[in-house]
Amino acid sequence: MATEIGVTVSYYDPFGAYSVIQSDLERLSPLTNLHWKCAPRPLRSIGSLPLNLIEEAPLASVPQKHQLPGMDQSPFVKIIVIQCDDIDIYRASARNIAREWLNINVNGSRDPTEWFILYIMPADPKKSLYDKIKSNFCPDTNKCIAIPHDSKNSRVWSSVIELLKASVLNALTKRVTVYESEISKLWDQKSLPGWNFGSFFVTKESLALSFEHMALLDDALAQYDDLEATFNELNQTTQSFLDSKQPESFLLSCNPFTLNDQKSTRLSIIENKLSLLEFLFYLFSRQCQVLFKMSKLATTPSAGSTHLADIVTRTRDFVLRLRPSMRFNHALVCEWALQLLTTVLDQVEVDTSNPKSYATLLSAKSGMVLFARDFIIELGEMKGWSVALEQEIDLSKQPADQAGDPGLISSIMLKDILKSEDSWFESFHTYSTKYLELNGALLESSHSADLVNCQLALAFYDRKDYESAAKYFASIPLSISLQKWQFLSISLLTAFADTMWKTENYSFFARGAVALIFRHKQILQDSKLQELSENLAACSKMISESLSFGVFDAKVFFDIQFAEAIHFNELDDATFLKASLKNLLPVDLHIDTITADLLSDVPLNGKSNSIVLPFSAHDISLKHSDAIDLDLRCTTLTSGLYKVARVRIVSGKFTFVMEYKVHPELIIVQNPNGFDVFPSFPSNQDLKSHKYLVFSVKAGCKDINSAKIELNSPFLGHKFDLNQIKITGISDYKVEDHLIHIKEPIMTGTAIEIAVPLDVHFQLNVLNTFMRVEFYLNDEKFVFMDTISSVIDAPISILVQDVFCANSLLWKFSFSVGKAKRLNSAFRLISSKIKGNDCFSIHGPGNSLRTLLVTEGRPVTNVYRIKRTTKPLISEKQLLTLELQYSSVNNDVRQTLFNKLEQSLKEYGCYDFFRLFRRVVYDILIDDQIECSPWGEIKLPSLLRPTLEKRLKSAKVSSDIQSKILDKVLADYSLEECEHQVSSLEIQVSIPSMEYLYEAELQIPFDSRITVGKPVKAILKITPNTIWKIDKDDANDNDDSLKDAQCFYEVSADSWLISGPTRAHFGLNDSVHANFEIIPIKEGYLNIPQVLIWPQQKIADKITIGLDYTSESVTVPVFSEHAVGFYSVNYSDDKRGASITASVTSGMFVNH
């Protein structure tokens, strides 16, 4: 019998009292939560341990013990049950019975064991009797427990449980100590003559059995694995004890999970009566049994799966190890191996619905299924039956003759398998599908699974079962099987294609046939190549759904080469790409469409913006093995540098896609006389209205019947207001669904101008706009796509300063280079003027006859004097208009460069490339800076020459002509020779409102000279002025807080002592007249005292006030007491941009 988990506990009942406690004692099983520690092992925990209670035989019938420990199922714990009511009876008989049991059954046994006494107390217990028993047998230990007569005391049984646990663990420790000591002694004697490996084996197995009884299965398995390793190490010296012969057929009746009479086998091992095969199978069986128990006790499915997978792996290794050494016939080997593998497969169950937990077991079991299948194949080969696996298939082979009977088969299962070729093939099929089922539960693609599918397909093909063969061929991932697997030979691909054709799986046939031709065209027979080609041509029309092929597959059918240049049509705006297409098959082919996609990565706002242009041709007939020249036509217009990215060829339901990673650059240019769109800057801007983007759309070789225009900007903060667009040149247009619909024809050679309002929500100097235009020429649709960069900010920055005087407003305008310095490095100011109205008169420079150049760091300033008229001043008439006329140096230089470039390209026969080069120049002049000196010398961007040189080289222009064109185009530029692109700018400016303007003057009467330390009389006059106040109803007019509102003035100076009302308040509409004495405290030119005015705090945010006075620059000479001379009063105001000089005479009042 197989070893069971659980420890044996024996009881000796000489007084017939066991029945009193039997039920209570049996309820103690299983023991739980045991913890065993035995150095040097780590702490072991045992969750549950069953108890096997057995009664001991009477003392007279105790068997003789074997000389080696562990040879029988000896108890771990022995219990004697004593029941005695009287101490005299105890002394007379009970004590002697207990002492005899202890001497013979416990102390007289070689088995390491523990013991204790259960004393069943009478109804009227006497403590002296219990104490007497303890003093006689266990005076120093607690090995005696008194059980009450009713035996229901839970505390007593808790003590019994604890004593039982301690006894079991102590017994295990004793056993381990005894066995390890014996094992060490036997191992040290291995070099002595006559050393018996069997004794060593049985002793070590006794230790394993002890662990197994205690549910310490990891430790038990470790002992068996150590025994296997030791046997392999001592293989040469241990062969002698395994010399006995045993009929090899005994293995056919052995089951590793139900190995019987283990005790007899161990005795045979000791007595050297076991053959090598029997010994190895016994050791393998014990390992399998322990692993199987470990799987049953595992706490998680994943852990249990791991142990079962270990059984499967060990079984496979065991078969591989024994197979070469077995001395009986080959058929019997296969029979035994297949039977053993089948037994293990049946025993090891797996839950395929939970593949994650059982992944290890699924993988191991599927591998064993294939291993078992190999033995079925070998048995069939002995009968002359075979299946095609990885090897080449000979499609013309004849069935092999029978190879004779494989030997005497005793297994009923194998007899059924081998009774005919059909039953044998069915078994092969069953094991193969079982493997696929297990592998499929893993939810992972497997090369082995694809291989098995391929083997099944070939096997059914060999048996002319094409439907079944097609089923398994279709299960193979074609992308892997038909391109990467090395074992896919010409014969296998032929079988694949032949099967799919015969079963009318035309899609699979096409892929198989293409792979076959691609890989083996050079060795295919002409007739076979012709047959495959004809079937492929027919298949392209018969399949129901489109089928796509990659670049390698396409090379079976076609070879295509492209010209190195793009050509344009002189009759319309289309462009052409020349190509040469060759038919590589020996049959005629019809191509519905061939399309070549040309790709250009044009950066847009720092990001890649791929533009794809499709060039196509239609309805092409290709004779077998013939080549033709094609013109692929494109009606999508976008100039630039392109590369052939992919080619799509459609023939019936076949679509061939060829990707190109490396291809020479192709320059695409539009017909110079064809359709064109280019940006321009608004000739007239009004900053009070929208900003505009202006695009010119020019018709080409033919009249444009109609067009749809789509505009998109990548900047989220900018939107086009298409409902407010303005188009000049046509009148019939409308905006619908965010598209501009042009309904009126655009005549050949003419252009329309589209001004698109732009809502700008943050500062941006250049806006990239993607424009798509669909237009029709003779009912054929053309598409223009391009990303157009436009400057949306004027180049001018304007600083305004205003100074109020009593009767006029001085306005100073400073014109400088705008914020977008990299876009417009300079501009020419042609004129600037302010348009007035009835309330104001303007005096200033007006239209200048001389153009002023404004460069970075060199602004231009104009000053205007604004005076009030007698007309009432109301808010609606407060706006004035500053009107400027200017030209951007960048625009002027760019247009001049365009004209030179056009002339030079025409002169040297390269005018076709003008539009492309113009785009290159435009982008560079936007991204780089044109330098302009104050005297008008121009320096072009350094990047311009190498970029144009590269483009000319790409256009196949000879080097000498390149040099001539570049020398002419990039010659020295001066501002005078550049064409003026005059633009106007209108800016609405408002007159600042000033509700109270106070005129303040300080009058100083003095003698011929002012001397240090002598007082000077002065008079301060402050007069209110409301000439700049708006005359209209206002909330302030009815504000009661202003009726009593006041202002403050203050007179202060650093170099004067002032006597008088230096700080006082006055009403908003009151005048001030105050007398002072001022005394200079040092000599020199001193600033006269300063006067400041400010409103009361509570009205400071309700009104605006101004002061027409300043003393910061008004100085008087002060002499020492002994100095002689004359002096003058100098008045200057840098802020106002004016200066006054007046003589001062003794005894006069001077008005400052």
Q: List, for residues 112-142, the tens digit of each pLDDT value.
A: 888 999 988 887 777 678 888 888 888 878 8
* Residue predicted with more confidence, 621 or 320: 621
Q: What mean pLDDT is predicted for residues 404-430?
A: 73
- Token pair, residue 147, equals 């059980």
Q: Examine the pLDDT at 594 and tell me if it is beyond 90.
A: yes
Q: What is the pLDDT of residue 169?
A: 93
- Helix/strand/coil (H/E/C) assignment for every residue in 542-560: HCCCCEEECHHHHHHHEEE
Backbone angles phi, psi at 357, to 5 degrees: -75, -30
In three-state secondary structure terms, 876 is helix
Q: Range with the lowest mean pLDDT among 370-374, 494-498, 556-560?
A: 370-374
- Does pLDDT of 403 surpass 50? no
Q: What is the mean pLDDT of the chain?
A: 77
Give the model's pLDDT for residue 1151: 33
Task: Give residue 62's pLDDT.
Answer: 54
> What mean pLDDT comes out for the span 436-445?
72
pLDDT the model gives residue 1128: 42
pLDDT band at 1133 (very low <50, low <70, confident <90, very high): very low
At residue 1082, the 3 state secondary structure works out as coil
pLDDT of residue 1095 exceeding 60, the answer is yes
Give the number of other CB atoms < 10 A from CB of residue 230: 17
Q: Does residue 462 have a pLDDT over 70?
A: yes
**127 near 140, Cβ under 8 Å?**
no
Dist. CA 145–CA 118, nearest whole Å: 5
Q: Is the pLDDT of residue 758 over 80?
A: no
Q: What is the pLDDT of residues 216-225, one digit of tens each?
A: 999 999 999 9
In whole angstroms, what is the distance from residue 623 CA to residue 583 CA? 7
157: number of CA atoms within 13 Å, CB side?
16
Task: Supply φ then ψ for residue 506, to 5 degrees.
Answer: -70, -30
Is this prediction's pTM over 0.75? no
Weakest-pLDDT range from 188-192, 880-884, 1137-1141: 1137-1141
Confidence (pLDDT) at 252? 56
pLDDT confidence of residue 234: 78
Q: Cβ contacts of residue 393 below 8 Å, gap of 6+?
A: 458, 462, 489, 491, 492, 495
pLDDT of residue 689: 56
Q: Is residue 310 pLDDT above 90, yes or no?
A: no
Q: 742: number of CA atoms within 13 Å, CB side?
A: 28
Confirm if 879 and 988 have CB atoms less than 8 A apart. Answer: yes
Percent over 70 (pLDDT), the chain:
77
**716 pLDDT higher than 70:** no
Give the mean model confidence (pLDDT) for residues 15-23. 87
